[in-house]
Amino acid sequence: MKKRGKLIALLFAAALILSACTDKAVVSADITESTENDVATESVDETDEVSENATIEAENSDAVEDTAAIVSQMDYSCATKEEGIDYLMSNTEYYEGFTQNDLDYKMQKKGAELDEYLEFSREQVLDFTDADLKLINESMADIEEILSEKEYTLPELDPIVFIKTTQDEECGSAAYTHGTQIYLGEYCFTIAKQSDEGKLWFETVLAHEIFHCLTRSNPDFRKEMYKLINFEVQDEDFEIPPSVEEYFINNPDVEHHNSYGTFVINGEEVDCFAVLVTTEHFEKEGDSFFDCMTTGLVPVDGSDMYYVPDDASNFYEVFGENTGYVIDPEECMADNFSYAVIYGPEGPGGNGYPTQDIIDGIVDYLENEK
């Protein structure tokens, strides 16, 4: 990745901007790219540091106590560096699915090998600071409070584990998941600690990642959510054909390619599943797949080909227009879920959403899940 700020613009900032449609509200994460370079550091003596740590620990305790009256719907913990390495290395199925395209972009070299990637990934795991832990506790408490106030009930959710990394193992992403493991980068904490708007952005990111944890914990929930954008889930994964695999990029948030939607291509309806592909191969250090990625629409009939969004005249009728992060139904619905939870059906500006029925469907599910 050339620049982490640019990735946020491509992924999360883009995903948090709702298209302006017929007087609908536009959601924007107003985060500047200069954040990383503008963070001030202060030197403190040993006595002040001990005092500060004690204060943070007390605030962490207060954050938990303040939510004692709210019935918690999410069980979570935060891993140490050593624990985080073990969790990261446990995701063997994900790594075994890497293509050469994956490895070259992630390692920023041609002919990269899986063993060197795994060793590199181990080195990216970090310990949380006390301030990080305080932020996670406060943000999770905020989300629990929202769920309680709106009387939303989450479906069954396995325990979540938060892990901190540099995110360089995923090309400078802000956050990602494996199972119910949520991996957060320093960029997330930097933004969240900067302002109230930054913290709200962080909580929206958490809600997005929690959606991925929910779909892994509850397959029926996944099916119901995908139906809201007219994707059907089948039992077996589709086989990725050779011409697609050559440019395929594994997304840790997408564990299965077993859902399909119907797209109108050249005037005819074609059932396709979605994949993340690049339009070109890695050539030199500094190349980022985020600069050349697109959604591939692969026919379910086994054809060795794929279409791109411009080929489908109804692409945004299928995915909706609430988010630009439409590389997969999983990511599309994770964004919609985060909006529904954090902002509710009215949206951040009180004017709703471009594709309101998706949000209403999520809210209806959460209000009636018992």
Q: What's at 364, amino acid-wise? A: D
**Is 137 inside any structural domain?**
yes
**Same domain as 278, residue 145:** no
Residues 6 or more apart whose Cβ sits within 8 Å of residue 328: 251, 253, 254, 274, 275, 276, 295
Q: Are residues 196 and 63 in the same domain?
A: yes
**Other C-beta atoms within 10 Å of 122: how many?**
15
pLDDT band at 25 (very low <50, low <70, confident <90, very high): very low
Check pLDDT > 90 for residue 286.
yes
Does one domain contain both 239 and 315?
A: yes
For the chain, give the mean pLDDT: 86
CB 167 within 8 A of CB 158: no
* Stronger pLDDT, 135 or 59, i.e. the higher one: 135
- Token pair of 210, please? 């929690």
Please check whether residues 46 and 189 belong to one and the same domain. Answer: yes
Average of pLDDT values for 260-285? 97
Q: At what angle do helices 130-150 and 46-66 cross, to 10 degrees?
A: 20
Residues 233 and 187 grouped into a single domain: no
Domain that holds residue 234: 227-319
**Total tally of structural domains belonging to the chain:** 2
Reported confidence tier of residue 8, pLDDT bands at 50, 70, 90: very low
Kindly state the percentage of the chain with pLDDT values over 70.
81
| Mean pLDDT for the stretch of residues 71-87 | 96
> Is the residue at 130 inside a domain?
yes
Q: Considering the domain boundaries, does residue 114 fall inside one?
A: yes
33 and 96 belong to one structural domain: yes
Helix axes 219-227, 329-343, angle to 10 degrees: 90
Q: Given 298, 319, 340, which residue is the final one in a domain?
A: 319
Q: Is the same domain home to 50 and 169?
A: yes
d(CA 205, CA 175): 8
Write out the DSSP string of 225-292.
Answer: HHHTTTPEE-SSPPPPPHHHHTTB---TT-----EEEEEEETTEEEEEEEEEEESS---STT--GGGS
Do 173 and 241 lie in a common domain? no
Residue 324 located in a structural domain: no
User: Does residue 272 sit within a domain?
Assistant: yes
Task: Please give the pLDDT value at position 236.
Answer: 96
Residue 60, pLDDT score: 54
